[in-house]
Every structure is written in C-alpha cells, then in structure tokens.
Amino acid sequence: MTLLVLGINHRSAPMSVLDAIALDREGIAALRAGMLAGEYVSGGAALATCNRVELIADVTSFHGGLADMGSALVTATGLDWRELAQYLTVYFDDRAQEHLFTVAAGLDSMALGEAQILGQLRRAYTAAREAGALSGPLTRALEAALELGKRAHAETSLDSVSQSLLDAALTAAAHHVGPIAQANALIIGAGAMSGLAAATLARAGTASITILNRTLVKAQRLADSVGGRAVEFDEQSLIAEVAAADVVISVTGARGTVLDRDRVIAALQAKAKPRQNTFLVDLALPHDIAPDVADLPHIRLLGLEDLSRMFADASQEAGSDVIAVIAEVRGLIREAMDADAQRRAANRISPTVAALREQAAAAVEAEFERVANKLGERADAAVLKEIRKSLRRTADKIIHTPTVRVKELSAEDSGVDYAAALTTLFDLSSAPAVRADTISDLQRPGAAPMARSGPSAAPRRPGGAERSPVAADGLTPVADHTLDVVEPAHYTGRTVKLGTRRSQLARAQSTALAQQLAAQTGWRVEICEVVTEGDINMTPLAALGGTGVFVSAVRTALLTGKVDIAVHSLKDLPTAPAAGIDLAAVPPRVDPSDVLIARDGLTLAELPAGSVVGTGSPRRAAQLRAARPDIEVRGVRGNVDTRIRHVTEGRLDGVVLAAAGVRRLGRLSEVTDVLATSVMLPAPGQGALAVECRAADADIAATDAELREALAGLHDEAAALCVLSERAVLSRAEAGCSAPIGALAELDGEALTLTAVMADDEGRLQQVSRFARLAASVGSADAGAAADNRRSARELGYLSADELLGALGEVPGTSAPGANAPRTHVETARGVSR
C-alpha cells in the first residue's frame, strides 16, 4: 500500500475557492466513485467539510494515483485543473499518515483542537466502508487516525484549551448585542452543524433559541433538545424571526443565498426598538448570507474566514498552556508514527518468518515420521502423540525468541534487510511464499479479502468498537500457547490464575488476554489448563449435546477456587446464566465470519460437484447444503490443525472454520475463501471471547472485588451488545450452541441490526433481519440508558427468534436431534477424526 492524500483547505486556499468547491452528500459520493474508477487507486475515501476537501487513497503508483485523484476532483467540482492546482496540497506515504493524524487531532483545523473534525473524518470513513471503497491497508490507516484523534482528546487537555468557531463567534456577539444570557438566538437549518450551534448556545445560557427549518419535524426535534421553539421556514417566517433575533446563525447547506440584503433590510425595519443591533454568523459553504449584508447599519456579519482569523489571534494570545498541550498532542502523533513504522516493518518480515515456521514444522514432521517408522509396533498411539507434541514444542521454543527479535530489529533498524538474512541463513528461497498483501486484505472485516463466495463482502466488525482486540496479524499465533506464566513489565506483587481449555487455540487466545491483563494491572497471570468433556470426547457435537461441553469443567475450577478467572470462546457458553459466576468482560471482537480452507486454493463456488467439505456444526452443514446442494458435507471434530490436515492429507476437499480461530493461530495464509454472510451466517457470539469470574455472592478471596473491577477494563460494550442480541435468538429458541442457528448483529451509532437464520429438521432455511434503535450511544455514562440498550438488544433477538420459529413451525432439533448435522464423519487411519 502507498497512502496518498490530495487536498485543499483553509490554509491553502481562500474561502472563495472553498465556497466554489463545496460538495453535498451526493457530490462527495460522486467524488469518491470517480477516484475509485481510476486505474491506480485501490481504495479511497473523501473528506469534505466547510473548510476542506481531501481525497485519501491507497494507490499503486504515486503519479498514476495523483492523476486519477486529480481527474476525479476536477469532474466533481467543475473547475479547471490549472485553477485548482495552485491551491492543492499533496501528502505521500509517511507524510500522508502523519497528516491524517494531525487532521484527526484537530491541529489542522480552523479552530485549533476542535473535536468536530474527528466526527467528520469518522463519517467519511463509514461512508467509504459502506460503499465498499476501502482496501485493507487504507482501513487501517484511517482507523489509526481515528484512534489517535480519540486519544488526543481523552489523554490531553486539548478540549479545555481549544475554542470552537461558535465559542469565538459568541464572544464577538456579546460585544455587539450585549450579554448572551439576555439574547434571543435564531438558528437557520437543522442539520448536524445546527445541532452543534444549538448546544453551544444552550451551554452559554442564551435567553431563547428558535430553530427555523423547511422540515418542521427536524426543527422540532432539535428545538426539543435545547428547550427551544421550532418554526417552519418560509419567506414570511424568515423575515419575522430574523427581526426578533439578536443573534442569527445560518448553516443550511443550500445552494443559494438564504439571507440577502433585501430580506435583512425588511427584518431591520420590523425590528422592535431599542434592540436594533443584530449579529449574523454564516457557517455555511456555499455562503448562506450575502456578503454585502455586512454594509448595513446595526449589522455585524462573521463568515468562516473571519472566524478563522479571530481564532488564530485568540490561540496566539493563549500563551504557554496552549503550546504545552499542542506539544503533548504532537508527542502522541510521534508515538503513533513510530508504531505505524514498526507495524509496517513487521509486515515486511512476517512472510519470511512464516516461511521459517513452515520449514521448522516440516522438519518436525519429517523427524516424527522417521521415529515412528523406526519404533514401529513398539510404540502405541499415546506415546507417538506425546513424541510429536514434544518435538513441536521444542521447535516452537527454539524459533520463538529469534522470530520475535527479528521483528523488533526490523522495526528498529530499517537499514538492514533481515528478511534477506533469514532467507539466506535458513535457505528459505525454496519455501512457499506467503503474500503479505493478500494476508493484509483479511486483517479487517469489511475489506475485500482474496476470493469470496457470494456477492457481499465479509461482515464489518460489529459494534464499531474503537479499541483494538488482541493483536492478531493472521501470520503468527496471537500468543505463545506453551506459556504457563505471563510476567508483567512492572510486577505489583499479585498473582491470579486464569483457567482455559487445553487446545492450542484456547491457550493462545487466553495467553494473549493474560498479557493484556498483566500489562493493565502489573499482576502475574498463571495459565491453568483445564480438561473439558469436549476435549476428550470426540462424539459428534450434535449427539453430545453441544451446550456447555467446553465450559462446565472450567466453571467448576472457577467456583472451587482452583482458578480466579476463566476465558472461553463466547459462542461455547450456554445461554442460561450460571449461579455464582459473572460475565466480567467481553473484549473487542475480531472477525466473526466463517472461512473455507480447500485444496488447490479453491473457493466454495469453485469446488467441483461431489466435493467433500468437513464441519462438525449443524449450522454450517445446513447452510452449506443450501448454498451447494451438489457437494457432500461430512462431520469432523478436533482442533484447527487436525481439521486442516484432513484437507492437506486428502481426506477432505475443504473444511469450514471460524475466521477468528484461524487468525489467532496465525494460519490466515491457508484460507482460500471468506464466506459472505449471504452464504454463511456465523454462530451467535462467534469471534468474541468471554471472561468470567466469581460473582459477589460467591467470593472466595478478599481480592475478588478488585479482580472484577480490573476485568472491566478489558470490556467492550459494543461487542457485548451485539453478542447479547445474537445469543438471545438461541435463548428464545431454547437451543444450544450446536443448533442450526446463525446470527450476526451490527451496531452503527445507535442503530442495531440483527440478521439471523434457522433451519428446520428437513434442512429448510429461514432468514430474518430486524432493526432496533438504542436508547443512547454505546459508552454513555447513564446507567439507565445502558440498561435500556441491553434490554433493546435482547428484545431484538427474541423478536427475531419468534419470527423464525413462527415461519418454521417448530424448534429445530426437537423432533429429530441433530437432523441438520453431517450424516457421515471423517475416518482416519486411527478411526474417527480427533
């Protein structure tokens, strides 16, 4: 990826030029589409505000990308390139990323440090994502900028020293019309900027606020939020309300003048004495208020350019406090740039590290085969299994430190080609290469990963969670699954025990979470392996019952004090609460989708008729049969490595797995197809982890309450709301985790959408999609609103389940348990797959 930003803003161009290129929503969409139509643009987003238009793109060539973006800008604005070029700024590669960080933090805004630009950048990102316009690398670049912007406002005093355009305007207004607390204010327009204006006026204690808008319903909604009044816009009401106002703020986004000289004169003539002075603020581009209005007596007019100068002067006078805060924000930007450089360096070395790991794995398997052949009948299966495990652990431990260190060195010293050194030292040139650019496309849900079955893209991350989950680049395991103790950088004297299943995936994801907890608290975390029924009983899940088979033993260890916390794959949890146990945290979720690993790099659509695809899940089996009735679905159990080996050794043509598990194990390079949600809805809660601890009524240790509080720092409420809604479908259907039910919830602001699918015992699929509006945005400090959000999420799941059950006429699995499960199971040399 090469990041390129082409823009024009208040620093590079006069307001007259910005006025001429102002774009509405349709114009922004057309600009983005025009950019993406270019030959050299792989992904793009368009940011358009009242004082800037910027095109942000992932390009394959600097000059080609610049030409494509410039052509799109000319087409969208209707201006000649030679006229535009003198005002344009171009940022490339590292400078482009730094510019995005600076913009997101508000350091490039008219109003230094203002937070509104962060919301505008987020809307540009969301619009591009929903349009399918983002590449994986561009997604990461924008998300990194948004995260930096949040940190700048949360971790520094930027909000307390920054002064918005509206605050500057009100300060000036008080000199012209008197105290704001005694002034009558009129806002023309009811959009997002009008809402900000209303909130600013209300905060200043303005005597009265009137909202004038062509759509009365929107005006009333905004007026209600600040205790104001709403008036429908027409010629008469415009003149009457301007006459009654002391302060008028106009921001309609109209394509023509709203207040011209004649209308203002008419308002002045109707104005009651002695309140003749009127202060006008024009926040719109193109202008809402004709510039010659400023020449009239008793009128003062401020436009965006005036406000910019006022704010710049105010910032210069603010002194050392402002300078210190800006320096602090720039420090955060430098940290973010360093982290970005290290990530890219690690990405460059990752394919070589992956090749080294593959070489080591092949050597281990060759040595194991030699030993097994030599021992022959003298060694039973258990002994051979232990030998193989020991060989693998030894190889992992030998390779772990050098591979971690080489990534660190690559980030620290860009002058040395460590990839070439590894390739030469270990003769990796003949090893199969892992394409870093291909893998990067699977790093973020919503990007276009490799081949896909079905027309839609993989689901974007539900909940819009801003905090990143445990880092999982898909090329290496998320954590060393052989670790027994995680040591913090600064030990505070306490050790907690974390219970987990013994599988490599469970150990890896639990260890990664333990590292987060250790870093957050300074506690030493001991990893305790608990053997569950699901680990030792290879009976097909549908026959075993599924619900709780991977959970109950870990919960018993928790309640008896053998462990202090437990980490589960959330989709394995029974829907009924367990006495004495609290769900303490749902960390940020990773990709919830399912993936296919098939022979010869085939996608689901490309598999020939009669192909055999493995899965132990009735949900997957039912949806696979619906998508490809001409293939055979065969049951398979065992860990991820075992299932993939069925494909590589020829017993299966493909196997369907959860993307999250494949990613966390670092085996993303083996994925041949990401199954779109139109083909395969995931299991409720798939991709999420659940962290449990003892409830207050089951405390054993005096420090249990402190532990619950610490775990709350790992929680992501957006992810929790999504999985709550999904699992409510299971709960209402009184079904377990092995039932043929799929569900995926997505949260966008306060809008929660749930799509669910259910199969009856004949394999008929029924799908439903429902929407709910939450009481408040996620993260609201209002405990009542948070409870209402959870209630709404749960109710959405219940209603979806009711609709599905009503359409199917029965609860699936009650008349013929496991009817949707695979009818045959993979046989290996030693029997049923394990």
Q: Residue 214: which CATH number? A: 3.40.50.720
Q: Tell me: the pLDDT tens digits for 741-779?
A: 999 999 988 899 999 999 887 778 899 999 999 888 887
Is the pLDDT at 503 greater than 90, yes or no?
Answer: no
Phi, psi of 83, deg, nearest 5 = -75, -40
Of the candidates 109, 141, 158, which is a domain's last residue? 158
pLDDT of residue 596: 95
Q: Is residue 689 part of a domain?
A: no
Q: Which two tokens stand for residue 734?
A: 């009184």
Of the candidates 384, 401, 434, which is a domain's last residue? 434
Angle between helices 165-177 and 304-317 (to 10 degrees): 100
Residue 292 sits in which domain range?
A: 165-317
Claim to verify: residue 351 and residue 216 sit in the same structural domain: no
Claim to verify: residue 110 and residue 223 sit in the same structural domain: no
* Share above pLDDT 90 across residues of the chain, in percent, rounded to a whole number: 33
3-state secondary structure 106-167: CCCCCCCCCCHHHHHHHHHHHHHHHCCCCCHHHHHHHHHHHHHHHHHHHHCCHHHHCCCHHH
Q: Could you tell me the pLDDT band of residue 48, with boundaries at 50, 70 and 90?
A: confident
Is the pLDDT at 533 greater than 50, yes or no?
Answer: no
Please state the rounded mean pLDDT for residues 372-387: 84
pLDDT of residue 98: 92
pLDDT of residue 600: 82
Q: Is residue 763 part of a domain?
A: no
Claim to verify: residue 286 and residue 354 sit in the same structural domain: no
Please state the rounded mean pLDDT for residues 456-471: 39
Q: Is the peptide bond before 286 cis (omega within 30 degrees of 0)?
A: yes
Q: Tell me: the pLDDT tens digits for 642-657?
A: 899 888 888 899 999 9
Claim to verify: residue 246 and residue 121 sit in the same structural domain: no
Claim to verify: residue 34 and residue 130 sit in the same structural domain: yes
Of the candidates 276, 300, 317, which is a domain's last residue? 317
CA dihedral 746, 748, 749, 755 (to 10 degrees): -40
pLDDT of residue 157: 80
Claim to verify: residue 27 and residue 145 sit in the same structural domain: yes
Q: Tell me: the pLDDT tens digits for 575-614?
A: 888 889 999 999 999 889 999 999 888 899 888 888 999 9
Residues in Cβ contact with 89 at an 8 Å cutoff, skipping those fewer than 6 apart? 5, 6, 7, 8, 9, 11, 12
pLDDT of residue 44: 94
pLDDT of residue 228: 94
What distance in Å separates the CA atoms of residue 812 and residue 605, rounded to the nearest whole number? 28
Please state the rounded mean pLDDT for residues 771-788: 83
Burial of 812 per CB tally in 10 Å (0-12, 13-18, 19+): buried
What distance in Å separates the CA atoms of residue 125 and residue 444, rounded to the nearest whole number? 14
pLDDT of residue 285: 64
pLDDT of residue 810: 59
What distance in Å separates the CA atoms of residue 602 and residue 596, rounded to the nearest whole number? 9
Please state the rounded mean pLDDT for residues 49-66: 87
Quote helix, strand, coil % in the chain, to nearest 5. Answer: 50, 15, 35
Average pLDDT, the chain: 81
Binding-site positions read 49-52, 109, 114-116, 120, 189-194
Q: Is residue 39 part of a domain?
A: yes
DSSP assignment, residue 775?
Answer: S
Claim to verify: residue 143 and residue 290 sit in the same structural domain: no
Is the pLDDT at 719 greater than 60, yes or no?
Answer: yes
Please give the order of strands across the beta sheet that includes 565-569: 485-486, 524-529, 495-500, 565-569, 689-694, 581-585
Count H helices and E strands in the chain, helices first. Answer: 28, 27
Binding-site positions for substrate read 49-52, 109, 114-116, 120
Q: Is residue 606 part of a domain?
A: no
Please state the rounded mean pLDDT for residues 102-122: 81
Residues taking part in catalysis: 50
Claim to verify: residue 43 and residue 183 sit in the same structural domain: no
**CATH code for the domain of 68:** 3.30.460.30
Claim to verify: residue 42 and residue 151 sit in the same structural domain: yes
If one counts the domains in the chain, the total is 3
Contact call for residues 2 and 62 (beta carbons, < 8 A): yes
Is the pLDDT at 815 greater than 70, yes or no?
Answer: no
Q: Is residue 809 part of a domain?
A: no
Q: Is residue 186 part of a domain?
A: yes
Residue with tokens 């009239």: 296
Distance linking the first and last C-alpha atoms of the chain: 41
Q: Which of 20-24, 38-42, 438-442, 795-799 has the lowest mean pLDDT?
A: 438-442
pTM for this one? Answer: 0.47
Please state the rounded mean pLDDT for residues 798-804: 92
Claim to verify: residue 219 and residue 117 sit in the same structural domain: no
What distance in Å separates the CA atoms of residue 211 and residue 185, rounded to the nearest whole number? 9
Q: Could you tell me the pLDDT band of residue 471, with boundaries at 50, 70 and 90?
A: low
Q: Is residue 326 part of a domain?
A: no
Binding-site positions for NADP(+) read 189-194
Q: Tell me: the pLDDT tens digits for 132-158?
A: 898 888 988 998 999 899 888 888 887
Please state the rounded mean pLDDT for residues 796-818: 72
Task: Name which residue leads in pLDDT, 829 or 591.
Answer: 591
Claim to verify: residue 203 and residue 293 sit in the same structural domain: yes
Q: Is residue 590 part of a domain?
A: no
Q: Which of 253-257, 266-270, 271-275, 466-470 has the lowest mean pLDDT?
A: 466-470
Residues in Cβ contact with 320 at an 8 Å cutoff, skipping those fewer than 6 apart? none
Claim to verify: residue 45 and residue 103 sit in the same structural domain: yes
pLDDT of residue 566: 94
